[in-house]
Amino acid sequence: MKTDPTFWLLARATGLTAYALITASVLAGLTVKSRPLGTRIKAAAATDLHRFLSLLALGTIAIHGLVLTLDQTIKMPLAGLVVPGLSPYRPLATGLGVLAAELAALVYVSFSLRRRIGHRNWRRLHYVTFAVFAAATVHGLAAGTDTWAFGLYAGSVAAVVSLTAWRMITKGGPRNVPVPQIAS
């Protein structure tokens, strides 16, 4: 008897989409205070985009997990979605994905708790985002089955590392860099 690949394909699609959204969220977060290449992105707009992308990523991660439980190929138990290592499919790699999702949710909730926990603690907690990104990258590479997606992972890592380096080197980036004008 042949199994229906619909849920397996949907799980892969939602996993790759979630990773792309996490990458976009990290990049948006890095632009809140930095001004890469002299862009004039307002901090409030970058923050709103960052939060929206984070929420979309979390929603897509939830769909990814739910779809995995419906797939008959690997038979993912519900507990495997919340307890790292309980998945029968590549437990270490899948466990990193579970851990990344839980940490991403924690960081997202911290947006609402910033006043209660203080800005300094909120900022420290926000550095966990780099661990989330790293764990999600390893999860995708080690648990994923799409070798063609390596370009997505390589490009995402390159973009995050580059923008992080820019932010570190410029300590937030120049504030008043003129935007180059293209002559018409």
The predicted-structure confidence for 29-74, as pLDDT tens digits, reads as follows: 988 877 665 666 777 888 889 999 999 999 999 999 999 999 888 8
- At residue 69, the pLDDT reads 92
Residue 177's pLDDT is 44
Q: What is the pTM of this model?
A: 0.86
Instruction: Kindly indicate the confidence band of residue 157, based on its pLDDT and cuts at 50, 70 and 90.
Output: very high
- Concatenating the DSSP letter of every residue in the chain gives -PPP-HHHHHHHHHHHHHHHHHHHHHHHHHTTT--GGG----HHHHHHHHHHHHHHHHHHHHHHHHHHHH-TTT---GGGGTSTT--SSSHHHHHHHHHHHHHHHHHHHHHHHHHHH-HHHHHHHHTHHHHHHHHHHHHHHHH---GGGHHHHHHHHHHHHHHHHHHHHHTS--SSPPPPPPP-
Residues 85-136: tens digit of each pLDDT? 888 889 999 999 999 999 999 999 998 999 999 999 998 999 999 999 999 9
